[in-house]
């Protein structure tokens, strides 16, 4: 087989129209019926729409290689780079007015909002190369482990397309269907996306003000506490601290309990403060941190403690860099 023929076959297998893959499956037909009955879509229009949708093998492959599978010292290197820190300072300069207004209104620090956008899309430089409808359809109809979740997101995407008067074949996003500068899933868009400039549009793709306000609103709706601390590095003597290490990120112990386990906690934290002890793997040891309520709120954006720590550390690096550049000599 010559190279051109082989390449054509690979491309044919990698991108397949929905009609060739799932059009007559119970899953697809059930989804169409649900959209017709529950949300009054027209069946003929839905089936016509999905004829243009493609199942993509590259999306399925990307789902099997999440960055969160890396140890902390490798994961951290992805985000704590000079490019991302400098880019965050520049994003701050470019959007100073919006960031100040949003911080006043929502109580979420500018550096946290910037770090979210920096981690998610490198300040809008990488918002995704897949059509959102292709990503959600691929994962909803051809990825059984999480089909229920992605079919729900596909439902929300079709609803937001109707509500926002958007052609559902146009929006682009990540391989998981996340959209815009802050990489909102469709359900998050419908719940949290904000119209910052009052133009009656929630444009998280091109309008940085809307994107900034949307991130802040996401945090506030998940109970962000304005002015409260987020996380602290700690140290421990002996091995007793390991009793407090457990899965999850929600504060499940108190400062007092950790102190009895020989964990050195910053003195400004009261004994009754709920915290979560977290361990982050380094090549030869581990870093210990305590996450507070606001750290847990960051994980509502992405449940990984690696993600939340990357956001926090990047936010601090950006704030420190900006302060040093604008401090008087």
Answer yes or no: are the C-beta atoms of 292 and 251 closer than 8 Å.
yes
Burial 36-52 (b: 16+ CB within 10 A, else e): eeeeebeeeebeebbee
Tokens read off for 55:
């199942």
CA–CA gap between residue 30 and residue 179 (Å, rounded): 26
CA–CA gap between residue 137 and residue 153 (Å, rounded): 9
Cα dihedral 70/74/78/82 (nearest 10): 170
Q: Tokens 């956008």 appear where?
A: 117
Answer yes or no: are the C-beta atoms of 290 and 278 closer than 8 Å.
yes
Please give the C-alpha separations between residue 63 and each of 6, 7, 85, 184, 261, in angstroms, as whole numbers: 25, 23, 27, 17, 39
How far is Cα of residue 275 from the mean position of the Cα atoms in its chain? 23
Q: Tokens 């956001």 appear where?
A: 311
Write down the catalytic residue from 54, 103, 111, 120: 120
DSSP code per residue over 257-278: HHHHTTEE--TTS-TT-EEEEE
Active site residue 120: yes
Tokens read off for 271:
């004994």
User: How many C-beta atoms surround the C-beta of residue 206 within 10 A?
Assistant: 12
Relative to beta strand 231-236, strand 263-264 is antiparallel
Task: State the catalytic residues.
Answer: 120
């Amino acid at each position: 087989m010559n190279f051109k023929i082989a390449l054509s076959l690979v491309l044919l297998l990698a991108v397949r129209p929905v009609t060739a893959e799932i059009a007559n499956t119970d899953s697809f037909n059930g989804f169409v019926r649900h959209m017709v009955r529950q949300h009054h879509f027209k069946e003929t229009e839905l089936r016509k729409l999905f004829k243009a949708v493609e199942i993509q093998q590259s999306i399925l492959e990307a789902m099997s290689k999440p960055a969160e599978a890396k140890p902390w010292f490798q994961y951290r290197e992805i985000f704590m780079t000079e490019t991302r820190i400098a880019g965050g300072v520049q994003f701050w300069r470019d959007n100073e007015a919006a960031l100040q207004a949003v911080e006043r209104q929502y109580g979420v620090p500018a550096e946290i909002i910037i770090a979210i956008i920096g981690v998610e899309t490198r300040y809008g430089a990488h918002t995704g190369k897949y059509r959102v409808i292709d990503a959600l359809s691929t994962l909803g109809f051809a990825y059984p482990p999480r089909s229920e979740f992605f079919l729900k997101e596909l439902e929300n995407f079709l609803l937001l397309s109707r509500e926002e008067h958007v052609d559902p074949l146009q929006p682009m996003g990540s391989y998981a269907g996340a959209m815009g500068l802050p990489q909102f899933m469709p359900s998050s868009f419908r719940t949290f996306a904000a119209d910052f400039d009052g133009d009656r549009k929630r444009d998280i793709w091109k309008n940085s003000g809307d994107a900034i306000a949307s991130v802040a609103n996401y945090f506030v709706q998940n109970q962000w506490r304005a002015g409260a601390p987020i996380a602290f590095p700690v140290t421990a003597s002996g091995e007793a601290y390991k009793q407090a290490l457990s899965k999850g990120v929600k504060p499940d112990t108190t400062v007092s309990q950790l102190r009895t386990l020989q964990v050195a906690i910053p003195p400004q934290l009261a004994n009754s403060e709920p915290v979560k002890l977290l361990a982050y793997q380094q090549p030869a040891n581990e870093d210990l941190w305590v996450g507070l309520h606001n750290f847990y709120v960051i994980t509502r954006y992405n449940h990984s403690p690696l993600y939340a720590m990357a956001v926090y550390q990047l936010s601090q690096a950006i704030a420190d860099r900006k302060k040093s550049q604008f401090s008087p000599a």
